[in-house]
Structure 1
């Protein structure tokens, strides 16, 4: 999970993200980005996520905690 923020930043088309950043505040946030996060978490961590879980996580930190809880 050491490169989690970097990978999420790439998916969100940002140079960097902070753990307290709201996911929905990013310009690139849309359904395609959510699908990309689902695919990323599945391939990198073998963690299946739903779109509802991702949207409910709220922040980058919440998303990271969600993935860690399912590992």
Structure 2
């Protein structure tokens, strides 16, 4: 999962993220970002996520744990 945080920084267009950051607090968190996360988790980890699963996740940590739970 070493690429997870750097990729989230890129997707969210910020300098840094913390695991407890709320996804909805980022200006760039939108449906396009959700699609990028779906593509990233599939291509990087072989994990299939749905938009609903992601939208029910509140934090960066929750998103990381969601991917890890499917590995």
Deviation at 1:2, TM superposition (A): 1.8
Report the TM-score when normalising by structure 1: 0.95
Say whether residues 1:70 and 2:59 are aligned partners: no
Match of 2:17 in 1: 17
What residue ranges of structure 2 are gaps of 5+ in the alignment?
none
Q: For the residues of structure 1 that align with 2:11 and 2:5, how far apart are their CA atoms?
A: 10
Cα distance in 2 for partners of 1:36, 1:10 equals 11
Q: Which residue of 2 aligns with 1:26?
A: 26
Q: How large is the Cα RMSD of the aligned pairs?
A: 0.7
| DSSP 3-state at the match of 1:18 | coil
Deviation >3 Å, runs of 4+: none
